[in-house]
Structure 1
């Protein structure tokens, strides 16, 4: 696991994308969707916005890319991964370690929804 996390940390170097490049295809209404077409629960998105706002010491919106904003480094990214695993009781596989799964609260919520297989609400935790 340590080798996988080290590889993920190395992968998280800032990357500049051309303006307007959609790394994740949104649903018809602009929502990030799970593989099953389920948008993340609004309470889950808000819960993650609040958590990420605390860890970055910045008031964030659901679509603020804290990596592009320079608020998250590779160590903080690993803390985000560990928080999601611990809070929602699942394991993040090496194939899941795609920066696009974690770059905003809404994307992280869509990822949690995909991993849990249902629409997770904001109250789900261990």
Structure 2
């Protein structure tokens, strides 16, 4: 697991790039991926795997709610929070 918090602007840019490459369309950070693009719950699981591998986090339990993956802004916040929790757990 990563020992540093990734800059949230970097997280957001990377997520937008990933989404554009996977869906072949541009996304805004606050667009609902599932309402606007008809993405599926299977795609949500692909997002979970991508976040875990790209940012060294582990998404478990209550964090697996679809609402955490509706927007790039929400996913960015989730990454930041989980990275800070992981660092806190290492320090504690």
Unmatched segments (≥5 aa) in structure 1: 1-39, 119-126
Asked which structure has the greater CA Rg, the reply is: 1
Large movers: runs of 4+ above 4 Å: none
- Within 5 A, what are the aligned runs for 1:1-126? 41-117=8-84
User: 2-side partners of 1:52 and 1:69: how far apart?
Assistant: 13
Secondary structure at 2:36 match in 1: coil
Point out the structure with the larger helix share: 2
How far the C-alpha of 1:41 sits from its partner, in A, is: 2.1
How far the C-alpha of 1:116 sits from its partner, in A, is: 0.2
Higher relative contact order (CA 8 A, sep 6+): 2
Q: CA RMSD in A?
A: 1.7
Number of residue equivalences? 79
How far the C-alpha of 1:43 sits from its partner, in A, is: 2.5
Secondary structure at 2:35 match in 1: coil
Partner of 1:26: none
